Structure formats: C-alpha cells, structure tokens
C-alpha cells in the first residue's frame, strides 16, 4: 500500500519471515493436536509485536491499527489460530490497558505483557450473554476497600494460559452499570475451566474464566465504576478491523495455495491451470482478495487518522470474513477431493476463518450496527 511507512513495511517483512519460520511449519501439527504454539508466542515478544499499539514508555511499538492489521495478515497466512491468540493478547488485553488504565496500572502490567513474560486475555462473553454484552451478569460487590467477584466468562481466547485478564463485570443493578478490572491469576482472582474443543482455530486455546468469591483490591478497578460500556465500545472498532486482517491473511493463503496446486495437479494430460473454469476461479479469488485488502487497509489507515468509526469498522468486519469463507470454500472446490482431506491446508483455513464471522460480533450484529446507523443518518 502506498501509505505504508518505512517502519510498517519493515514490520510486514519481519512478520512475514517470522510466520514462515515459526508458525507455518508447525501449524498443521498444532491444529491436529489442539495445542498452543507457546514457543512462537513468546518469540513474538522478542520481535516487538506483542505491544504493537502500546506506548514505547512501557516497551511497546507505539503504532496503530494499520500496523496491527499488517501483523494479523502476515501471521494469518501461516497460522490463523496463533494469530487469534496474538489478537486476544495484543488488542483485547494490552490495547485496552494502554487506552483505559491508569499510569500506575500500565507501569505494573504492560512491560511483562509486551515482552511475553505474561500472557493476557479479555473477559466479556458469558455462558448466557454473547451478542448482548451489556447484559453480563458477573458481579463485583463493593466491600469498601475491596471487591468480591463472582461469575464466569465463556469463549475466552488464551483462558488457560493467561496470567492477566481484562474483565468486564456488573457493579450495579442498572443495565449499563458495568465496571472493568485487571485481574491476576497468581493472586487467585480467577481460574480457568476445561478447554473448549472447536471446529476451527484449534491451536488457539479457548476456555472459561471462573470467579468464585475472588477478593480484588480497589487498585484493580480500571477508571471508575460504570465505565465498562465506554471501554467496550472504544476497543471494539480496532478489534473488528484487526480480526478482519486474519481473514485477509487466510484468503491470500488460499489464493497462493490454489495457484501452486493449479500448476502441479494434472488431469486429462495437462495441468488443471490450463482449464478455463480453474482460471476463472483463481482470477476471481485473487481479485476478491485484492478488494478485501484495499478496503481493510484504507479503513485501518483512516481509523488511525481519526476519520473512521463504528460503521465502517462493522462493514469491514461483516464483509471481509464472509468473503474469506467464500474464497476458502472455492479453494476446497478447486482442490477437489484433496481439498476436502487434511492433506492440504485449505480445509483448515476454511474452518479457522468461520470463527471470524462469529467472534468480535457476529455477522448479524454487524448488520444491525450498520443498518441502525445508516437509517438514523437518513432521518437527519
């Protein structure tokens, strides 16, 4: 992209090499074993991307959504699962602390999260509250000098491995009276439940966070009581933009695999790339991927300039994962029986991408956000 800075180009090249050497060679194994590539995750701290949006004062890179999206695409090409865990740590935990926590809290938590010494997660969804995030029921009772937390969070990426959890709770009876806490596993603030076995993103650990009469100091509260809705909304835009970056990476990986396969696989005495139907499939997949790339990076660039908000972030989140699923399905079709088998990576890519149509707000929720805002604008 013409607007990539030299630093962003360097990050792209560095992450491309990292993904090729540390993620791609073991992606299939970790998917099969449902195991977390924690060795590669720790090395992400060594190359300086775990705090991509955090201030250099705390060890971060001090960059924005555009740089974070670059990382998502490059990692996502190789292993979407590892990239999802990266997103949960760097965007849902680190970026939230960077944007919302006090200076003392940043000094306490960010350095170890940014080096990879600590792993982070974010707790929003609950067993009975997913799309209706404001309805959460995990409760924090104010006891004067501390809080007592009870409840649970479900579908939490990195749950079993997290040292730090950025968690939304209820602190009052009103629907929007929600508050945010930074919780520490070593302090007994939370435990994790059994791992959740998933269709895709199998190498990204997913589980439950459990709070049972957890005593939490007042110093763990982020901002003031009742600030959580603001915290949620503030971070959702960059989450939706960056998770779309994973889908872009998956789509590009599918295109690359199809081009390679079309040149290697022969039928009727010649490579299948000579057949017009295959040519059409590859051409359309590549064109759709380039459309995705331009839409996504333009949005991330303008987001960093303060020119884009919830509507365009929702449009990116709606369009790009849906298109990537289509491309992955087309890639399976192009590969025929081999595409449906686990001998080639396209079936894993399809399984992984489906999560991106659900996480960070389902396709249906994105439609609601877009339509509501557009219709309200038309009334003015």
CA distances from 344 to 41, 144, 252, 259, 325 (A): 24, 58, 15, 13, 16
Q: Is 74 part of the annotated catalytic residue set?
A: no
Q: Which ranges in the chain belong to alpha helices (H)?
A: 6-18, 24-33, 38-46, 65-78, 80-87, 95-100, 103-115, 228-264, 276-304, 310-335, 337-340, 346-354, 363-378
How far apart, in whole angstroms, are the C-alpha atoms of residue 142 and residue 134?
Answer: 20
How far apart, in whole angstroms, are the C-alpha atoms of residue 211 and residue 188?
Answer: 9
Residue 34 and residue 197 in contact, taking contact as beta carbons nearer than 8 Å: yes
Q: How many residues does the chain have?
A: 380
Residue 316 and residue 244 in contact, taking contact as beta carbons nearer than 8 Å: yes
The CA-CA-CA angle for residues 321, 14, 264, to 5°, reads: 65
Residues β-bridged to residue 192:
209
Q: Which two tokens stand for residue 355?
A: 């999560």
- How many C-beta neighbours within 10 Å does residue 290 have? 13
Q: Which two tokens stand for residue 350?
A: 């399809």
Sign of CA dihedral 124, 369, 254, 245: negative
How far apart, in whole angstroms, are the C-alpha atoms of residue 49 and residue 127?
Answer: 32
Residue 83 and residue 249 in contact, taking contact as beta carbons nearer than 8 Å: yes
Q: Which of 239, 288, 347, 357 is catalytic?
A: 239
How far apart, in whole angstroms, are the C-alpha atoms of residue 340 and residue 33?
Answer: 19
How far apart, in whole angstroms, are the C-alpha atoms of residue 317 and residue 237?
Answer: 9
Q: Which two tokens stand for residue 247?
A: 């889908």
Residues β-bridged to residue 164:
120, 184
Beta strands 178-184 and 221-222: pairing type? Answer: antiparallel
Q: Which residues are catalytic?
A: 239
């Amino acid at each position: 992209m013409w607007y990539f800075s030299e630093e962003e180009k360097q990050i792209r090249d560095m992450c491309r090499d990292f993904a090729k050497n540390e993620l791609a060679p073991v992606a299939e194994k970790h998917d099969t074993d449902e195991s977390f590539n924690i060795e590669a995750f720790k090395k992400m701290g060594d190359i300086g991307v775990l705090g991509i949006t955090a201030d250099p004062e705390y060890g971060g890179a001090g960059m924005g959504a555009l740089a974070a999206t670059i990382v998502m695409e490059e990692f996502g090409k190789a292993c979407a699962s590892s990239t999802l865990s990266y997103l949960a740590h760097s965007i849902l935990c680190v970026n939230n602390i960077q944007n919302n926590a006090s200076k003392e809290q940043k000094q306490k938590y960010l350095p170890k999260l940014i080096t990879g010494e600590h792993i982070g997660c974010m707790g929003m969804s609950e067993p009975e509250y997913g799309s209706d995030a404001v309805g959460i029921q995990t409760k924090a009772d104010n006891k004067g000098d501390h809080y007592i937390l009870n409840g649970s969070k479900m579908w939490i990426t990195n749950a079993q491995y997290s040292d730090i959890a950025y968690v939304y709770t209820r602190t009052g009876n009103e629907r929007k009276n929600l508050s945010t806490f930074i919780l520490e596993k070593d302090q007994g603030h939370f435990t994790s439940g059994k791992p959740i076995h998933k269709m895709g993103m199998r190498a990204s650990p997913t589980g439950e966070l459990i709070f049972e009469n957890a005593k939490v100091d007042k110093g763990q509260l982020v901002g003031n009581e009742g600030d959580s809705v603001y915290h949620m909304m503030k971070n959702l835009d960059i989450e939706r933009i960056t998770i779309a970056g994973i889908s872009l990476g998956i789509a590009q990986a599918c295109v690359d695999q199809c081009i390679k396969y079309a040149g290697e696989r022969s039928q009727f005495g010649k490579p299948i790339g000579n057949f017009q139907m295959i040519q059409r499939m590859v051409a359309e997949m590549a064109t759709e991927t380039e459309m995705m790339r331009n839409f996504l990076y333009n949005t991330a660039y303008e987001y960093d300039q303060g020119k884009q908000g919830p509507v365009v972030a929702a449009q990116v989140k709606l369009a790009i994962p849906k298109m990537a699923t289509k491309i992955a399905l087309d890639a399976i079709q192009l590969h025929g029986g081999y595409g449906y088998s686990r001998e080639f990576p396209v079936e894993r890519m399809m399984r992984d991408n489906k999560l991106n149509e659900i996480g960070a707000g389902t396709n249906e929720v994105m439609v609601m956000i877009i339509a509501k805002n557009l219709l309200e604008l038309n009334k003015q």
